Chains A and B, each alone.
Chain A
Amino acid sequence: MEPWSNTKVSDKVTHLIEVSELKVYYPARSGGLLRRKFVRAVDGVSFYINPGEVLGLVGESGSGKTTIGRAILRLVSPTEGRILFKGKDIASLRGKELKKYRKSVQMIFQDPFESLNPRQNILSIIAFPLFMLNIMKDKDEIKKYCAELLNQVGLSEDVMYKYPHELSGGERQRVAIARALAVKPEFIVADEPVSMLDVSVRSGILNLLMELKNQYNLTYLLITHDLQVAYYACDRIAVMYLGKIVELAPTEELVKYPLHPYTQLLLSAAFASFSFVQQPKRKLSLVGEIASAVDPPKGCRFHPRCPFRVERCEKEVPPLVEVRKNHFVACFNVS
């Protein structure tokens, strides 16, 4: 039974974000004029996030996780499906309501070297959303506020007049976090916030994100390809493969009982042998690469790489079903 098909906008809205049967298709370059091909970046994804929660969206590049984040931020429009924020469909937001939405939902981008405009100094980068969303106008007030924000993210105030190229990767990412915080949002999408940083810098950024979450009662959608990062930061994890969610469970549960073969693969790849996380007993061979999203395999998307596939997997698409308490898997061998 699909846990949340036919989502209705109910009076009692408990979820902060609700994604319902989301599909995002891009027109592909290949394919002639007649047969238009599509990149099925997101192919029917549903989940919800409760206030105060951190949901992790884990998958390789090409799995569609970044696209979901961008759809939530309205940087890309869904081909089908809906995204609800506090019960309201965000596709219908216009003008003032859209600005209000932007104040509540913010994003931290993956590349700290690209997400800051090289021609603006840090002060104007952080103040930019304040101007655009008409939050503050007085210059002195803005300066003071920016100084506070910079201190909050662990940077000193003199960073304000520097330019992005004068800062290191970790510092730039902190500035990006300060910028996201400036509008006092409720929900932040963090798209691979640490994958482009040195390993020794990552823990500092993750700690910062967790502190800020507790301090300001934030809710996060953490997108990453590294299960280890999700393990430390998230309450629940959704594993994605080629545009679909293949497993969804609370973090400890997922790591202790990884049911989908792809999750097992990610586990064995993500954790070094000395880490506290126990490696899955059946070590999967790391053969093969993620297939193209233009012509995904028929049936279960993972079946070409799956060592446990049966005939059914090549024909039918396995639905996401609850197999253990709060633990959903899309695999015929498991359900």
Chain B
Amino acid sequence: MRLSIRGCATDGVSTLSKIGKFDAEVRVVSMWAEIGSAVWHDRKAIVGLCILAAFTVMALLAPYIAPYDPFKIVGAPYQPPSAKHILGTDNLGRDVFSQVVWGARVSLFVGLAVALAVTITGVTVGLVAATSHPLIDEALMRLCDIMIIVPKLPLTVFTAALLGRGVYNIIIVLSIFGWPSIARVVRSEVLSIKQRTYVDAARVAGAGQLQIMLHIVLPNVLPLVTANALLAIISGIMSEASLSFLGLGDPSQMSWGTMIYFANIGGAIYHGCWAWVAVPGLCIALFGLGMHLLTSAINVVANPRLRRW
């Protein structure tokens, strides 16, 4: 937690940081514990965490929660919500609720996989750009610029069409276009950390370039990276949904996105199956809400000026 004394005087933080003195009890607070504490004390973040936990449980325990196999025909098509089928059935007579539950698995998996790939790539590129020769830095940043400017959806459609349908192809496609924004954020944060006095202090203490990166820079960058990585999950889920909606998803996997696709081509609205159309989208939206609520607390750890206590 970096308390900046040199803030503008009109926010209470600079006064408070001078008030905070010795704690009577000795506490060992690591960065993860700090994030945990920030989340614990923020009601919004707890709500967000609960939402995310609910979806995660739903995804993990899908076999036990879903009453039916999502691909099996178990009833008459276009049924409205009933006791037997909580959200009704789709155009082939498959249970929508089971599809939502199993869909959580696929969507979350895709989101997580994309977030992981994007974060690892982005952090590496950002670190390399911030610590290399200015020319390499320029080259990498121009590459990022190009990738950010290029209209992603047509390109993703094109690449998806090229690689074919399949969950792993989707993940590859989304990962290719997702890392530049994280790379930029990491690069600017690392550049700013490099200017800090404690980096000079580390050099004076005999640390080499690599040691400074590992022991000093990386831990200070981590909160920001965590927040961005979490947001990349929801971004991955939404991108997958977009691709699926356009028919480029994997029909053999029932994700929330493919559900919306099927709902669209299956004429759900015409038949009045509001649950089939709305619920998958609502799930994505709710998941995104939960994620943003959670990361708002984590951002405070990364940037203490946002603190409001």
A75 with B23: CB separation less than 8 A: no
B28 with A161: CB separation less than 8 A: yes
Q: Give 1 or 0 for each of A96-115: 1 = CB within 8 Å of chain B CB.
A: 00010011001101110111
Whole-angstrom distance between the alpha carbons of A99 and B205 in the complex? 9
Q: Residue B1 at the A interface, CB < 8 A?
A: yes
B200 close to chain A: CB less than 8 A: yes
Determine whether A332 belongs to the interface, using a CB cutoff of 8 Å to chain B: no
| Chain A residues, Cβ within 8 Å of B72 | none
Contact B207 A158 (CB under 8 A): no
Instruction: Check: A7 CB closer than 8 A to any chain B CB.
Output: no
A118-B1, A118-B220, A161-B26 in contact; A132/B201 too (CB < 8 A)? no
Of A84-92, A162-170, A228-236, A305-313, the one touching chain B? A162-170
Find the B residue at minimum CB distance from A110. Answer: B197
Q: Chain A residue with minimal CB distance to B218?
A: A119
Assess whether A121 is in contact with B5, with CB atoms less than 8 Å apart: no
User: Do B205 and A129 touch (CB < 8 A)?
Assistant: yes
- Check if A179 is an interface residue, CB within 8 A of chain B: yes
B residues 214-253 near A (Cβ < 8 Å) are: 215-216, 219-220
Contacts of B211 in A (CB 8 A): 132
- Alpha-carbon distance between A258 and B29 when the two chains are bound, in angstroms: 52
Whether the Cβ atoms of A162 and B198 lie closer than 8 Å is no
Q: Are B205 and A179 in contact (CB under 8 A)?
A: yes
Contact of A163 among B1, B17, B204, B219 (CB under 8 A): B1
A128 on the interface (CB 8 Å rule)? yes
Cβ contact of B22, chosen from A107, A111, A113, A166, cutoff 8 A: A166
> Is the CB of A133 closer than 8 A to any CB of chain B?
yes
CB distance from B300 to the nearest CB of A (A): 14
Taking CB atoms, residues of chain A closer than 8 Å to B204 are: 73, 75, 102, 106-107, 129
Say if the beta carbon of A117 comes within 8 Å of chain B: yes
B154 interfacial by beta-carbon distance below 8 Å: no
**Nearest CB in chain A: distance from B214 CB, A:** 12
Partner of B206, one of A102, A110, A158: A102
Bound-complex Cα distance A179 to B207 (A): 14
- Per-residue B-contact encoding for A160-192, CB less than 8 Å = 1, 0 else: 011101111000000010010001000000000
Q: Which of B5, B201, B202, B220 is A113 in contact with, Cβ under 8 Å? A: B5
Partner of A179, one of B2, B18, B23, B201: B201
Are A75 and B200 in contact, CB atoms less than 8 angstroms apart?
A: yes
Task: Give the Cβ gap from A78 to chain B, nearest Cβ, in Å.
Answer: 16
Q: Closest Cβ of chain A: how far from B146's Cβ, in Å?
A: 25
Interface of A (DSSP majority class): loop
- B161, CB-defined interface residue at 8 Å: no
Q: With a CB–CB cut-off of 8 A, which chain A residues contact B57? A: none
Q: Is the CB of B205 within 8 A of A163?
A: no
The CA of A231 and the CA of B196, in the complex, are separated in Å by: 30
Question: Considering only CB atoms and an 8 Å cut-off, how many residues of chain A contact the other chain?
Answer: 34
Q: Report B1-30 CB contacts with A as 1/0, cut-off 8 Å.
A: 111110000000000011011110011110
The reply on B139 being an interface residue by CB < 8 A is no
Is B203 an interface residue when CB atoms closer than 8 A count as contact?
Answer: yes
How close is B242's CB to chain A, nearest CB, in angstroms?
38
At the interface, yes or no: B31 with Cβ under 8 Å from chain A? yes
User: How far, in angstroms, from A128 to B18 measured CA to CA in the complex?
Assistant: 26
Which of A103, A113, A132 contacts B3 (CB under 8 A)? A113
A116 within 8 A of B: yes
State in angstroms the CA–CA spacing of A66 and B124 once bound together. 34
Contacts of B31 on A, CB cut-off 8 Å?
119
How far is B204's CA from A179's CA once the two chains are assembled, in angstroms? 11
| Least distance between A186 CB and chain B CB atoms (Å) | 14
Query: Chain A residue with minimal CB distance to B201?
Result: A115
Q: How far is the CA of A159 from the CA of B29 in the complex (A)?
A: 13
CB atoms of B200 and A109 under 8 A apart: yes
Contact of B23 with A128 in the complex, beta carbons under 8 Å: no
Q: In the complex, A152→B50 CA distance in Å?
A: 49
Contact residues in A for B205 (Cβ distance below 8 Å): 102, 128-129, 132-133, 179, 183
Q: Bits for B178-222, please: 1 = Cβ < 8 Å to A, else 0.
A: 000000000000000000111011111111000100011001100
**B207 pairs with A163, CB closer than 8 A:** no
**Closest Cβ neighbor of B28 among chain A residues:** A161
Q: Which of A73, A75, A109, A163 has the most CB of B within 10 A?
A: A163
Hey, what's the 0/1 contact readout for A254-273 against B, CB within 8 Å counting as 1? 00000000000000000000
Q: Is the CB of B1 within 8 A of A129?
A: no
Q: For residue B23, which residue of chain A has the nearest CB? A: A166
Q: Is the CB of A161 within 8 A of B27?
A: yes
Enumerate chain B residues within 8 angstroms of A75, measured Cβ to Cβ: 200, 203-204
Q: Which residue of B lies closest to A75 (CB)?
A: B200
Given the interface pairs A129-B205, A132-B207, the reply to whether A163 lies near B197 with Cβ below 8 Å is no
A166: chain B residues within 8 A (beta carbon): 20-23
Contacts A109-B201, A179-B205; A117 near B216 (Cβ below 8 A): yes
| A321 nearest CB across to chain B (Å) | 35
A-B contact pairs, 12 of them (CB 8 A): A73-B204, A102-B204, A109-B197, A114-B196, A115-B197, A116-B198, A118-B1, A132-B207, A165-B2, A166-B22, A168-B18, A168-B21
Contacts A73-B203, A165-B3 aside, 20 further interface pairs with beta carbons under 8 A come to A75-B204, A102-B204, A103-B206, A109-B197, A110-B197, A113-B4, A114-B197, A117-B220, A118-B1, A118-B220, A119-B31, A119-B219, A132-B202, A132-B205, A162-B26, A163-B1, A165-B17, A167-B22, A168-B18, A179-B205
User: Could you tell me which B residues sit within 8 Å of A by CB distance?
Assistant: 1-5, 17-18, 20-23, 26-29, 31, 196-198, 200-207, 211, 215-216, 219-220
Top 5 A-B pairs, shortest CB-CB distance: A129-B205, A132-B206, A114-B197, A133-B206, A118-B2
